[in-house]
Structure 1
């Protein structure tokens, strides 16, 4: 069975990027942090979502406090240190604006919101010009009401350039209209909608393109064949399938004869 590579770049161009990346890493001062940039041909964040999330400090937590915040049009949130995640360490209790978070989630989609690094500004009040703190953050968890999809709370992780972040990166499937297998009447089995990577904070991919255009019946694409920046570290088995073209059912094959 063939395993096709989902690639947006040509093979030559991609390997040239790999060589340049490896050379730069070797020449870099070992004591200095590596600097990462998005590579040509790979997805990068859409500028139209370059939005600063506004927040105000929140002194205490609890169900009653959270309910009051939501009633006032605010979402109770927490910002954790990237190194400690949600296991302790330095954290800041904040509230963000419900309308702003709801708009971003609705426009981007939940999984895309959770793979996007934002600037976050904390002010004494939303109308204040004084900035208490300005940091880059990655939304880590988003809790929505099961019935209404109202935003109940958001957890953020600090995302300075030095941070490495665990991110469930969304997959975007393309080329299904020309896939040989699908043209033969087979079905598309999407096994994974996201794949988890350890990413440098400066190059968190907004999504990963998965090219189905050459996939035939019985063929699949596995996590290790996805085309991503070489600095990203896959946090699951490279042999785990993310999508497969299923063979036609026996009854369907008989009907076609």
Structure 2
């Protein structure tokens, strides 16, 4: 059987056709998660998948286009660990970037049983090794409203008047939660510091975003960052706790 498979692979290579489980890295390779169905769950089944170089994954489908309807369906999948590692490495905003998902009937099958756009929402890693253990995705069809934790990125530090005077940038929030239509999810939220002087601050609701995004916060007037006159000194209490 092994000789037969090798023979088929060689024939495919001679014909210029790559076997589906040995596709060469390409642009689509970094934007389409390749997966196959997984029939069993649990620690033992998950450990078996990892031993074979795969990552157990779950695809969640919401009950409706509106938020708060809960999960309608959970689909068990398994993805290639090598590919996921590459995708996470290539995209610093992996958990806020919709990607394509292609589910084939089996590891050595070309038959596609499901395809669509998904949003990775959780990557579980081993605390000691950093290896990816599990992946959770949600179906991100156009029109679906998703709650997304978006990373905050600060830009314009070199032009910031307050920082040029020797001020200190106090970063208060590193992420913000928005309700976003799947088709308008931004990979990040940019905060421009170019016009900020000492004493200035940027509030949550002052950050320009697409009009379809809704900030989910109990207090939208909370600051995301401040330009302080100098770096704050740790309180004696904190120093006591560290000593």
Which bracket does the TM-score occupy, shorter chain normalised? 0.7 to 0.9
CA distance in 2, matches of 1:218, 1:234: 25
1:224 aligns with 2:166: no
RMSD: 2.2
1:200 has 2:181 as partner = yes
Label 1:48 to 1:132 Cα distance change in 2 as closer, same or farther (>3 A).
closer
* CA spacing shift, 1:192–1:49, aligned 2, 3 Å: farther
**Which structure has the larger Rg?**
2
Q: CA deviation at 1:247?
A: 2.2
Change (3 A) 1:49 1:225: farther
Instruction: Please give the secondary structure, in 1, of the residue aligned with 2:138.
Output: strand
Normalised by the length of structure 1, the TM-score is 0.74
How far does the alpha carbon of each residue in 1:82-123 deviate from its partner, in whole angstroms, 9 at most, with x for none? 3488964311000111111111111212xx101011111111
Which of structure 1's runs of 4+ aligned residues deviate more than 4 A? 47-50, 84-88
The one of the two structures with greater contact order (alpha-carbon pairs below 8 A, sep at least 6) is 1
Check the 8 A contact 2:62/2:72 in 1, yes or no.
no
Of 220, 223, 226, 1:244 maps to: 226
Pick the aligned partner of 2:133 from 140, 146, 152. 152
Give the counterpart of 2:191 among 210, 229, 232: 210
Distance, in Å, in 2 between the alignment partners of 1:212 and 1:164 is 30
Which residue does the alignment assign to 1:71?
51
CA deviations on 1:30-70 (whole Å, 9 max, x unpaired) are xxxxxxxxxxxxxxxxx988611100101111001111111
Size of the aligned set, in residue pairs, is: 203
Q: Deviations over 1:179-205 (max 9, x none)?
A: 111111111111111111000011111
Q: Higher strand proportion, which one?
A: 2
Q: Distance in 1 between matches of 2:203 and 2:232?
A: 26
Match of 2:215 in 1: 234
TM-aligned CA distance change 1:249 to 1:113, over 3 Å = closer
Q: Counterparts of 1:86 and 1:100 in 2: how far apart (Å)? A: 32
Residues 104, 113 of structure 1: 8 Å contact kept: yes
Gaps of 5+ in 2: 1-26, 234-243
What TM-score does the superposition give when structure 2 sets the normalisation length? 0.78
